[in-house]
Structure 1
């Protein structure tokens, strides 16, 4: 594709996202590219890269355009994004070419706005704090509670593009051998500093088209997510429940820890997500997993009450810890969304608690950085359920710096991972309240 055609595709993708404001941007992008299979891998990465850069600066770009009383359009957002990257007005005008696969020439009002922005910086001292930090106004005080004086540094790290982390499938190979296999395909990965199974690549890389991925040697999984699986401390002798298994990312890591032995029950309320995990399980060579679709009136959980050594609750959450990968989620999440999630998280925790055997462990985890979903949720659970207590993990898979932790909070700034929270709770009483 020509530079102008790539630019036009970026504007078209932004337009598609604007037409589906409640749909995650990555889902819109997947549909967009499926319908345009003529766009090759390199062009897809270039188009996505520009669009994701715009989403990371959405409020700041919008603020600048509002100063000119401009209508917030995909064309102006794309053009202003380039201006703040130092691209000249002449170069931008050349991208707005005429033609079938081009965006069409800039109008006179568009030219005037771009000219006005030339020489300005994206961050302006007159911006409100929430705009500077790319947050909805209602969320600012909640993140101030989480980070205090470190707020700006933490949010800046959450605005940076994410690394591409892989988990090596130790059922098939070693980390060193997986590195060599990736290198043979031109992907040079470094060992992650915290997870003993992790490898890290910079930027967007075509991992899914490589032999190591197709052969189940590596899976795409953030290092923080790997550590959530690690704190569980599952062994070949344990009976494990992954209560919110989704597409099976942590299920796969747990099966690997268990050396494909013991028994894992992977549950979810979404049949589609569970079906998506089947291919991943087969590719990884995992065969100690039973899948179950949770439904209203289901007797499955009642029959298995108090029977699991380890239960993982990777709870549905705001996803604030994944903003590096999903910058659109910053502005899609509402206060009502959070309020509903807090109720759902508490309900799920209580249901999952009944499945833990006496002496068994329950791990509550989120990919959130909000205290309301993390420490406050654990404190409320412990107040409701006195038969549980916070305990230290004895998992050998945790790095030395995390050995003996009862709970952890990870962030891109502090740990180089997505934002994750996990807490380990032990059931000490024989009776679990309903």
Structure 2
């Protein structure tokens, strides 16, 4: 019955091209008899099918919702043909029995001859860009982006140490993150993740949900106590909170976003975290709310709006809704933000450019274009960035395509992120 429901929801997504969360919510409203465990199991199947949509379609030789779901049971869950056949018997809401062709394909089909974009489960129109970013490893990197992500937490060092947080959350069996000195990782396997926002440690502000790559991006900004810092794309405040902790509540952070609605959650989060050195500068019509910061900032951080290709492990439906036009829009926004940010950096100050994208267009290419037009800025090497952050091991993730550091699930075990720090001469 769970498999049948998942196929029904995949049909809806194919028709209406909308976020999977919306389709799942509507299905739940229309099927109120389904309990929370049923809904969670169905959601898990849907997201597994979206993770493996291309490889599953190749295995089955068809891209119908049924074919994708059956193929995903093999590719994502590791079920063999007999186990899948046992779920498909056509009675009591079960899917129709397997055809001879379906059974044969599930038993014998291999991905060896599949194109990279199918083996890596990413849209075909991004093939050239994945090749440009990863070369011969494109399919491997895509497959890693199609896997499930663990749950990562950032320890709020304003309130506790990592050792204390490990003790507080011992019942969830967390482990220290391999790269971030302030991270914890909870492996959820195939199951449903814990309700972390209901945990006492979260409610008291001891930990925040934040992928290890995002933690590292904030650490690479190397914000120091006493500095003047502008978080130009603060959104809900994740990076702002991380920077405030690095600065031990000393100095000043100005949190700004062009959309006041995105900033709205930051106030409650700041209070919970005990961050007291943050001024929220929300937009006010046509007023220049940052005019007093011209050439005054030691650090300007741009957590740039991007395609989110590096976060596909957490949002597998997003990759199939991404269109070339969306990329062009993001590239334009990024260029505008970099140009805007330059005015706030004081001589000797730093401009940190961060994306959760793996595409060169949004990363190294944007930095190169900015540096060409702003000769007063120079990019730090990966070694310099890592050394200044006190994390010299991160230099091994130096981008092969220009300045900056690249992280990805296949290379670093994190979400896909890009970080480049530039200094104003």
Relative to the length of structure 1, the TM-score reads: 0.85
- State the 1:362 CA deviation: 0.6
Judging changes above 3 Å, is the alpha-carbon distance between structure 1 residues 378 and 48 closer, same or farther for their aligned structure 2 residues?
Answer: same
Say whether the 8 Å CA contact 1:192–1:223 is kept in structure 2: yes
Partner SS for 2:55: helix
What CA distance in whole angstroms lies between the structure 2 residues aligned with 1:363 and 1:156?
A: 29
Partner SS for 1:119: helix
1:117 matched to 2:117: no
1:179 matched to 2:166: yes
Any idea what the Cα deviations from partners look like across 1:330-383, whole Å, max 9, x if unmatched? 222222222221121111100011111222111001111111111111111011
Aligned length: 409
What CA distance in whole angstroms lies between the structure 2 residues aligned with 1:265 and 1:35?
A: 45
What CA distance in whole angstroms lies between the structure 2 residues aligned with 1:358 and 1:190?
A: 41
| Worse-matched range after superposition: 295-304 or 227-236 | 295-304
Q: Match of 2:152?
A: 165
Judging changes above 3 Å, is the alpha-carbon distance between structure 1 residues 221 and 41 closer, same or farther for their aligned structure 2 residues?
Answer: farther
Within a 5 Å distance, the mapping from 1:28-427 to structure 2 comes to 28-29=23-24, 42-65=37-60, 67=61, 72-82=63-73, 85-88=79-82, 90-94=85-89, 96-98=90-92, 102=93, 106=96, 111=99, 114-121=102-109, 123=111, 125=113, 127-183=114-170, 186-203=171-188, 204-206=192-194, 207-294=196-283, 297-391=286-380, 392-393=384-385, 397-402=389-394, 407-427=404-424
Partner SS for 1:123: coil
Unaligned runs of 5+ in 2: none
Judging changes above 3 Å, is the alpha-carbon distance between structure 1 residues 312 and 148 closer, same or farther for their aligned structure 2 residues?
Answer: same
Judging changes above 3 Å, is the alpha-carbon distance between structure 1 residues 334 and 105 closer, same or farther for their aligned structure 2 residues?
Answer: closer
What CA distance in whole angstroms lies between the structure 2 residues aligned with 1:352 and 1:338?
A: 21
Unaligned runs of 5+ in 1: 429-434
Judging changes above 3 Å, is the alpha-carbon distance between structure 1 residues 152 and 15 closer, same or farther for their aligned structure 2 residues?
Answer: closer
Say whether the 8 Å CA contact 1:265–1:290 is kept in structure 2: yes
Judging changes above 3 Å, is the alpha-carbon distance between structure 1 residues 236 and 29 closer, same or farther for their aligned structure 2 residues?
Answer: farther
What CA distance in whole angstroms lies between the structure 1 residues aligned with 2:29 and 2:229?
A: 37
- State the 1:304 CA deviation: 2.4
Relative to the length of structure 2, the TM-score reads: 0.87
Judging changes above 3 Å, is the alpha-carbon distance between structure 1 residues 356 and 38 closer, same or farther for their aligned structure 2 residues?
Answer: farther
What CA distance in whole angstroms lies between the structure 2 residues aligned with 1:413 and 1:114?
A: 31
- State the 1:51 CA deviation: 1.4
| Worse-matched range after superposition: 169-178 or 280-289 | 280-289
Any idea what the Cα deviations from partners look like across 1:48-107, whole Å, max 9, x if unmatched? 321121112112333455x4xx6x54344323433552153541224x543xxx4x6528
Say whether the 8 Å CA contact 2:119–2:139 is kept in structure 1: no
1:11 matched to 2:7: yes
Cα RMSD (Å): 2.7
